[in-house]
Structure 1
Amino acid sequence: MLNKGPVFVALPLDHETPDIVVAATELARRLAAPLVAIHAIQRRRLESDKSLESRVAEARLRLESHLAPLRDSGLEIQDVMVAVGHPAEVVIETAPSVGAQMIVTGGGRPATVRRWVVGSMAEAIVRRSSVPVWVARGKPPLDRPLLCPVDLSPESRVGLEAAIRMARLFEAPLTLISVVKDESASRFDRSGQQLEKDEAAARQQVRQLL
């Protein structure tokens, strides 16, 4: 049975927010699901309760400014939440509690060396969430194919099932890609026959996945 829960959208209220809203709206409409929006605020050191309450109220107003046009267009907004805590933790913990069928979040700024080491909020959500995650980078490319990498592991089957669902949902072609290590240049296989065998074996395994 398909999950009929809401699309859970985490809005950072920064330059990415409009594109995240577009992606979440498109998914909610295609899934015929309501939307739950959340923004997380981290408490500042030595911040007073009054200051925190003021920031929460301001964040709620800013959220409403992004969501009002969606309500006006007929999309159901099930809830609008402002939570205090680390953004990734808030999203990971709250999404299951509202029965979300999917999380939509932004991809963050372009990666830096430091972020490769310590990771990003989006990476933390993707790695730890029990709910499927859509990372929005720009507006959804509705007229382009979906690409699904598979490494023939059990996790690949889960990813493939999700890719097939999204391809059907967006009426888009689906391309699978599996990487085979090229060892044909080694001194033991100068003819490239082993690579051909590996490619054939990989193709057969992909067919079995399908």
Structure 2
Amino acid sequence: MGDPAMGMTGDLVKTVVHTSVATLYNNLVTRPTGQAVRSAIEAQLQGGRGCCVSVLDFSKVGVLDFSCADEVIAKLLMKYLRADRPSEAFFVVQDASEHHRDSIDTVLRRHKLLLVAVESGRPALWGPAPSRLRAAWDCLDRMGRVDTSQFASAHGVNEATAGSWLRRLVNLRVAVPDGHGSFSSLPAALGDRAAAAARTYRAAAEEMAPYGPDPSDGDGGPPPHAPPEL
């Protein structure tokens, strides 16, 4: 496989990796298929330094069943939620259909996970977010990039509470910190210029064969570390 296509962006996100999820298969059914797709995505992220956003493009995906959604989406999110995650990767789903969303939302709710998606050019928060958490994410998404005091003023809370909400969004991997007191929604961190600069990565399918199950994986068992509380 070649190197992932990466686009440079601002202070928050160092690399943007675009992946056509249908590169290996158009119809994503069965766990072995999902494991192969997830392995290809993880291979793209290896060796990355700094914060990376992986944009998962579903525009050419036909069928997505629950087992594949669990293998590709849920297990990716759970792996990068862990304290011992291999890199600072965040994930955004792009151009998923209503059918795709049904499968993805089911596994998000099962595992109590959140995911940022772009629907017809507009960002959305998928998964079982409590109303106050969703309101905090909506506020950050409207503002784009903020510091704690700006968020506190816009959200009508004190700075201590604002900082708590922002850190919670980061811990759930739906917001990005810059390490200097500012926070950004994932769509704002990506930026239009960075998204345009990042080329779609085409995995070499013949180099990925055979597509057997990952022997280290169970069959959808619990994650090694529980995700942060919503």
TM-score normalised per structure 1:
0.32
Q: Which has the higher contact order (CA 8 A, sep 6+)?
A: 2
Q: TM-score, normalised by structure 2?
A: 0.30
Greater helix content? 1
